[in-house]
Structure 1
Amino acid sequence: MDEACRNCPALCETRTQVVHGYGDVGADFLFVGERPTARADETGVPFAGAGGSDGDGGLRRMLERLGLCAVDSPAERPELENVYLTTLTRCRDPERGPTDEEVDNCEPFLNAEIRMINPEILVPVGERTLAELGTEYTTTPVDDLTLPEDHAQRIRGRGFELVPMIDPRDQTDDQTQAWLEAFVELMASDYRQTKGRRER
């Protein structure tokens, strides 16, 4: 992974650092966001500070509740088990989301991480990420993949199962609870049999 990537000149001027993936490289669960958060740009850890007002973020609290993140681990270096975190793009502009060209420029990094981790479950976080991963990894027409309709739903893909999530910063308490309950049920199931299925 290139720590000094210059593929997107505009983002090179606004980023603090390149934020590549972070977590358990043998994970079954891979969470993919759209771009680094402001806190991730500072710490180098994807999703840092994503949601909530306590600095740890809504996603971290969700991972703690699922037993995938050690509760007492430091915010800047959370101890993750069976989960890997990454984003479509590796650099942040504080004023805007990534352009299509910037997403395309980062696609080799994301593809390399997905091949390296070889997860069973992909968790697209947010509408943009769902569209990108849905196009690449499912046979479902991208127009049929939407949030909040597909929040906490299991979508069969090509070699993976997708469990989309509304961005933690935008979730209601009920939506958070619904996603957690669906994911607990998934974790208790024989989800490792999903690879190779092509139907939704």
Structure 2
Amino acid sequence: MLNWDELTKACTECYNCDLGKRRTNIVIGRGNREADLMFIGEGPGEQEDLSGLPFVGPAGKLLDTLLKAQMIKEDQYYIANIVKCRPPGNRVPTDEEAEKCLPFLRNQVYLVKPKIIVCLGATAMKYVIDRNARITQIRGQWIERKGYWIMPTFHPAALLRDESKKVLMWEDMKKVKQRMDYLCQNQSS
């Protein structure tokens, strides 16, 4: 596995698929690199491609608001995506694009060593949990795998399109906060 500097260099120099040829910036991640909580999204949108940071557009602002309301502080999480470059028109990454980027994501998970991973949306769920699962069927459920507690939930962009999903994601984030608090209590005792 690469260290952070090596990983950043490898991502920056990556042109393994067409996404790398179109990007303005590589979008690796943001947040606490030693956090117990890690969020994984789909891929950068326009604002993320311009800034080089994940979840800074409208969906990111909604996620930030939701996390603040749950009293999950910025220094308590790290955010990354399945792909590190923006797909044209914000389309869903292809299997080939995702497969080319997954080693980078696995390296990030290895370096962060989170206790909890939240998959934001169907694409993250597909590549982290199960390629045949449906987000509407397994969202909000805990899955324990390889020492990680993993929960799929809706992508914040889905909430911008369908406000009825806000209540469900709120409930999911309450479970995440409860699990974080529980793990922290048991870690310190």
**What's the offset of the Cα at 1:179?**
2.6
Aligned to 1:57: 61
Unaligned runs of 5+ in 1: 70-79, 136-141, 195-200
Determine whether 1:25 maps to 2:37.
no
Pairing partner for 1:121 from 110, 116, 125: 116
Is the contact made by 2:117 and 2:151 (CA closer than 8 Å) also made in structure 1?
yes
- Give the residue type in structure 1 aligned to 2:141: Q
Q: What RMSD, in angstroms, separates the aligned Cα atoms of the two structures? A: 2.3
Residue 97 of structure 1 and its aligned partner are, at CA, apart by 2.6
**Which position in structure 1 is the counterpart of 2:5?**
none
* CA distance 1:146–1:122, shift in 2 (3 Å): same
**Any gaps of 5 or more consecutive residues in structure 2?**
1-7
Question: Once the 2 structures are TM-superposed, how far is the Cα of residue 193 of structure 1 from its aligned partner?
Answer: 9.8
The answer to whether the aligner puts 1:131 opposite 2:131 as a matched pair is no
Q: CA deviation at 1:99?
A: 2.0
Structure 1 pair 174–157 and aligned structure 2 pair: CA distance change class (3 A):
farther
1:8 aligns with 2:16: yes
Task: Provide closer, same or farther for how the CA distance between residues 100 and 193 of structure 1 changes in structure 2, counting only shifts above 3 A.
Answer: farther
Number of residue pairs the alignment of both structures matches: 173
Q: 2:70 aligns with which of 66, 70, 82?
A: 66
- What amino acid does structure 1 have at the position aligned with 2:53? V
Equivalent pairs: percent with the same residue? Answer: 25
**Structure with a larger share of its residues in helix:** 2
**1:136-155 equivalence runs, <5 A:** 142-143=131-132, 145-155=133-143
> What TM-score, normalized to structure 1?
0.76
Cα separation, 1, equivalents of 2:18 and 2:176: 40
Please say if residues 28 and 121 of structure 1, whose CA atoms lie closer than 8 Å, have aligned partners that are also in contact: yes
Question: Where has structure 1 moved over 3 Å in runs of 4 or more?
Answer: 191-194
For residues 167 and 108 of structure 1, the distance between their equivalents in structure 2, rounded to whole angstroms, comes to 22
